[in-house]
Structure 1
Amino acid sequence: MTEPILGAGGMKAADAATIETWGVPGRVLMETAGRAAAREIAARYPVADRDLQVLVGTGNNGGDGLVVARVLAGHGALVRVLVLPGEGTPDRAANLALLRRLADATSGIEVVPFEDVHQAANAPADLVVDALLGIGITGDLRKPTRSLCAWMNRSAVSVVALDVPSGLDATTGRAAPDTVDATLTVAFGGVKAGLLLGDGPTHAGEVVTVEIGIPDALLREHATAFRIPPGAIGRMLPRRSADAHKYTAGQVLAVVGSRAFSGAAVLSTAAAYRVGAGAVVATVPTSAAAAVDLRNAEVMVDAQPETEAGTLAASARDAILARADRADAVLVGCGLGRDPETTDLVRSLVATVAAPLVLDADGLSAFAGDADRLRQRTRPLVLTPHLGELRRLVGDDTFDPEDRIETCRRLASQWDATLVLKGMPSVIGLPDGRVLVGPPGEPALATAGTGDTLAGSIVGLLAQGLSPAEAALCALHLGATAARLWAADHGAAGLVASDLIARLPAAAHALRS
């Protein structure tokens, strides 16, 4: 049920193994890729009697473009192919020779050696195919490729990128200046990590993955991460038995909130209920108890002693541990504050609580610069940092991982935890080295409180028996689907976290349908 996601190195290795070990000629892979891309283009755009420009680089991506040009010319397109100078790969050279012979025999194909960007700018085009670089780039664009990419971005014509928009790093999603803004990207064999991460979604447009003859086993062997389709998420979501009651449907203990941040306690506990938990207890400082009780009547509020700052005091420890013994899952962190006494309490709870535990927000800050201490915990642990919180965990304010997949893999293994690095999209690292990529980002989620909602959703799903990986994935999909349902009625802006929580049951229904 998983879809492999590959970086540039993994894709090259799978491609090479297909040719060298499985005996599939590279020319066959190129032909299959080009034909598949042409099919996707013809399904979305009118091509008969339309002017099509294909910009061809010197690598195999250029060879794919030559096949696209030949096939779409057969569909009646008026094809103009602009070819960058260079010897190119043997398979690309063979396809170029074939296209030139066809151009000599028909008026519908023109093959033009590149001299200047004005050759592209001054020619008519209803559609442009970017076959310049593919997965080959790791740095900035060089001339003349950069000039052609800049022209594509200035033009008002739709651009179809083959495999990866030129200028986009296929592994990290880093976009060089003037990276192509594609309307459609046809990914060959497997989806590239760079199309999903970083700048990728901004430049890739619609992404469709086509099969080109690389065995699935090779794609999985060389994958850097995996993602799970929404239909599989729907089957993963917990279902209540006919004889369920509140204490069998999942008991959650949330150690959350403070005098200054009672809202985080309200949002996280409400989310735990909305994803299906049967009973939720919020342990909060005394000064926050009334606010939580008033705004979230279903939550059982457990008021505990507090510090002068209005955060949970260390003397609350024994009462919290007694409640944790009866809980199916525990959340620590949302709105707790960073008082030193509360920080010490959090560290003690993480080391002691036996139930699966979600550590979020100020709970994560308790381990700032000392995250290896998390390895002392022997029971399931889920960490939910955004980038700023991850920086605090690793103790480096300048930490800015270019490869988020590899970073999640390394740190989840190092900390022996399930690491949910929030972002667009979020990435989940598992202790065993596997990495999962969450659903595409939803702009409506860019609002305060959605992190508290996610943490509450994860702990609510954990309490119902899902594994940490399942709970994190399902929570991400539920949040994204709920945001999409809200945006369908209201647009992307204006959602607040309580709107999101209210739509979580509908999101679960949509995912199961």
Structure 2
Amino acid sequence: MFARPDLLLPVLGADTMREADRRAMADWDVPGRVLMETAGRACADEAERLLASGDAPEATVLAGKGNNGGDGLVIARVLHARGWSVRVVTLASRDDSSDDTAANLALLERLAADSDRLTLLAPDADLGRASGVIVDALLGIGVSGDLREPVATLAAWANRQSPRATVLAVDLPSGLNADTGEAPEGTIHADATVAMGALKAGLLLGDGPRLAGAVTVAEIGIPDRLLREHADAWTAGPDWLEAVLPQRASDAHKYSAGTAVCVVGSRRYTGAAVLATRAAYRAGAGAVIACTPESARLTVDAHNVEVMVAAQPETASGGLAFAALEPIRDRLESANAVLIGCGLGDEEPTQRMARALVGSDYGPSVIDADGLTALAIHIDTLAERSGGRVLLTPHLGELRRLLGDHAFTPEDRIATVRDLASRWNSVLLLKGMPSVVASPEASGGAVAIGPPGHPALATAGTGDVLAGTAVGLMAQGLAPEDAALAALHLGYRAAVSFRGRPGSMLASDLL
């Protein structure tokens, strides 16, 4: 499990959320009607926050047949009570809905009979143009695949109303897969989403961040203990990073602050070595040693004067020679953490040397870039050597090479990283938008979803910075899974704070 689990937020999928909901009612005696009422009121509060200043308080509520639609009926009733003019398009009837949804529909029908500010409409009604807020309560967490009628037509109508109307999604934008974030054509594009009880994985993965807008979580009465018991994954709360980052003692010296040994670089790829070693320092390591080919020594020295360069024998084309293995092993005896890979190149002697280092009897290690390439056809031998202390940092292309399957695309990123981390007995950081981190089963088998993607990070060298940051944190004592997640958040926060145009940021700017 990751450090400070109390500061991690649970992330659930469709099945686990339904089970938490069921247990809240069956084991904790929380009435379903109370859950629906609380959820609806939380969304009504959000609708009021979303209403543009000066706009007339108007809402169009699109309510489906299930409990998601029942939440929508509560929202309509509450907004009407607060003085809004409300139109409700409902797919539900009293005969084909849950008891709680049917009860809220009956109540709304009685109110509509006595009010000219509350109108109930059929799904095929001409809705014209909308203003104010559109509430998307059409589909819940258990729906996947293409949108069907009449939902497809209503979703298309909602998507045409921007920017005149603001779209608020209840739990998930209709069409978005709660587990994977996959979205069929026509999925509602929300400006804001209120997640009921807990974040859903689909809000953080795939198309979720693009379609969900600003996401908030509403506490609706499901005990936090249940949500945590059923979590499929976790994401860091706002205080997690500050809580886990290492703090130096007042009497610290460079070696007590952690030594990182980085086996990096080649004549062709000196920049990767510079970025990775500098990142290890910026992450707080007290001493950073670069084991790099002799012909790369002057460049690494010139661009990063703090790094201690241990120049090594090299091949004719400037990569680390296999003869560097024993001198590097001598250096590893003083290491608190090791990085293997950034800029090594793919020459056979270099790759053979890198494979011999992976899983040796030294501190925890990060394997990145060309270090991953060295493992590509040998990955299944890693489990016996890693001791659970190896952090692998592939992007999807590198993961495909590790698996020997160049067409592989994970349908479920959470399940994929969890299974592979246990298969390889290593921590796995699958880079992407967002990145996902998993620890092996022996270490709890937990999965964490990293921060959202940022366009400034789409530039060469940011992966080297990430790897260097992780090894710098591991050198100070963080477990590999915590170092991976913390490195992702540090990089994201640095990118967010960059003051220039996102497309102009360089990897060195992160440092």
* TM-score category of the 2 structures, normalised to the smaller one: over 0.9
Deviations 1:59-95 (A, max 9, x none): 1111000000000011111000011266222221111
Residue 115 of structure 1: how far off its partner (Å): 1.8
1:493 to 488, 492, 503: 503
Q: 1:499 to 1:465 in 2, by over 3 A?
A: same
Partner of 1:506: none
Task: Specify the code of the residue in structure 2 equivalent to 1:458.
Answer: A
Q: Distance in 2 between matches of 1:428 and 1:215?
A: 26
Aligned to 2:102, what secondary structure does the other structure show?
A: helix
Give the 3-state SS of the residue equivalent to 2:478 in structure 1. coil
CA distance in 1, matches of 2:262, 2:378: 23
Per the alignment, residue 450 of structure 1 pairs with 462
Structure 1 residue 243 corresponds to structure 2 residue 255: no
Question: Secondary structure, in 3 states, of the residue corresponding to 2:242?
Answer: helix
The answer to whether 1:422 aligns with 2:421 is no
* 1:151 positional shift: 1.8
Q: How far apart, CA to CA, are the structure 2 residues paired with 1:264 and 1:330? A: 15
Question: What are the ranges of 5 or more consecutive residues in structure 2 without an aligned counterpart?
Answer: 1-6
Q: How does 1:186-201 map to 2 (within 5 A)?
A: 186-201=194-209
1:234 corresponding residue in structure 2: 242
1:132 alignment partner AA: L
Cα distance between partner residues in 1 of 2:428 and 2:460: 21
SS in 1 for 2:357: helix
Contact 2:12–2:198 under 8 Å retained in 1? yes
Distance 2:415 2:38 in 1: 31
Asked if structure 2 preserves the Cα contact closer than 8 Å seen for 1:333 and 1:361, the reply is yes
Q: Is the 8 A contact 1:256 1:335 kept in 2?
A: yes
Counterpart in 2 of 1:470? Answer: 482
Q: Which amino acid in the other structure matches residue 495 of structure 1?
A: M
Matched, 1:39 2:45: yes
Q: Is the 8 A contact 1:367 1:393 kept in 2?
A: yes
More displaced stretch, 285-294 vs 267-276:
285-294
Residues 12-57 of structure 1, C-alpha deviation per residue, up to 9 Å, x if partnerless? 1111111122222211111111011111221332598422100111
**Cα distance in structure 2, aligned partners of 1:107 and 1:49:** 15
1:283-432 paired onto structure 2 within 5 Å: 283-379=291-387, 380-432=389-441
Distance 1:473 1:428 in 2: 7
Answer yes or no: is the 8 Å Cα contact 2:129–2:161 preserved in 1.
no
Contact 1:253 1:327 survives alignment (8 Å): yes
TM-fit CA distance, 1:378: 4.1
More deviation, 365-374/388-397: 365-374
Looking at structure 2, the residues matched to 126 and 471 of structure 1 have their Cα atoms a distance apart, in angstroms, of 44
The question of whether the paired residues in 1 share the 8 Å contact of 2:43 and 2:170 is answered with yes
Partner of 1:178: 186
What is aligned with 2:140? Answer: 134
Q: Which amino acid aligns with 2:205?
A: L
CA contact (8 A) 1:370 1:394 kept: no
Q: Which amino acid letter does the alignment assign opposite residue 470 of structure 1?
A: D
Cα contact 2:377–2:402 (8 A) shared by 1: yes
After TM superposition, the structure 1 stretch with the greater mean CA deviation from structure 2, 149-158 or 60-69, is 149-158
Shift of 1:240: 1.1
Matches within 5 A, 1:22-171: 22-45=28-51, 49-84=56-91, 87-116=96-125, 119-120=126-127, 122-156=128-162, 157-171=165-179
Rounded to whole Å, the distance in 2 between the matches of 1:153 and 1:448 is 36
SS at match of 2:459: coil
Does the Cα contact within 8 Å between 2:69 and 2:92 map onto a contact in 1? no
1:169-219 alpha-carbon deviations (Å, 9 max, x no partner): 011011111111100100000010100011100000000000111111111
2:24 to 18, 22, 30: 18
Contact 2:139–2:174 at 8 Å: present in 1 too? yes
Secondary structure, in 3 states, of the residue corresponding to 1:239? Answer: coil
| 1:218-233 map, 5 Å | 218-233=226-241
Distance in 2, matches of 1:134 and 1:442, equals 28
In the TM superposition, what is the alpha-carbon distance from 1:168 to its structure 2 partner? 0.4
For residue 359 of structure 2, give the secondary structure of its aligned residue in structure 1: helix
Match of 1:504 in 2: none
Deviation at 1:341, TM superposition (A): 1.3
CA distance in 2, matches of 1:256, 1:397: 26
What secondary structure is seen at the aligned counterpart in 1 of 2:141? helix
Query: Shift of residue 471 of structure 1?
Result: 1.1
Please give the secondary structure, in 1, of the residue aligned with 2:502.
coil
Distance of 1:82 and 1:371 partners within structure 2: 55
Flag the 1:430–1:386 CA change in 2: closer, same or farther, 3 A: same
- Aligned residue for 2:3? none
Provide Cα deviations, 1:389-410, integer angstroms capped at 9, x if missing partner.
1111111111110211111111
- Residue identity in the other structure for 1:59: G
Alpha-carbon offset, residue 135 of structure 1: 1.0
Which deviates further from its counterpart, 175-184 or 79-88? Answer: 79-88
Does structure 2 retain, via aligned residues, the 8 Å contact 1:321–1:353? no
Q: Which amino acid aligns with 1:328?
A: N
Report the CA distance between 1:295 and its aligned residue: 1.4
Q: Secondary structure at the match of 1:253?
A: strand
**Partner Cα distance (2:25, 2:198) in 1:** 16
Residue 263 of structure 1 and its aligned partner are, at CA, apart by 0.6
**For residue 253 of structure 1, what is the aligned residue in structure 2?**
261
CA deviation profile, 1:335-354 (whole Å, cap 9, x unmatched): 11111111111111013241
Distance between the aligned counterparts of 2:167 and 2:342, measured in 1? 44
Instruction: Output the aligned Cα RMSD.
Output: 1.4
CA distance in 1, matches of 2:279, 2:145: 42
CA offsets, 1:94-134, max 9 Å, x none? 11111010001111100112125xx22x1543210001002
Query: Which stretches in structure 1 are left out of the alignment for 5+ residues?
Result: 502-513
Q: CA deviation at 1:155?
A: 1.6
CA deviation map 1:337-385 (0-9, x unaligned): 1111111111110132411110000101111143211112244111111
Match of 2:473 among 456, 461, 472: 461
Give the alignment's TM-score, normalised by structure 1: 0.94
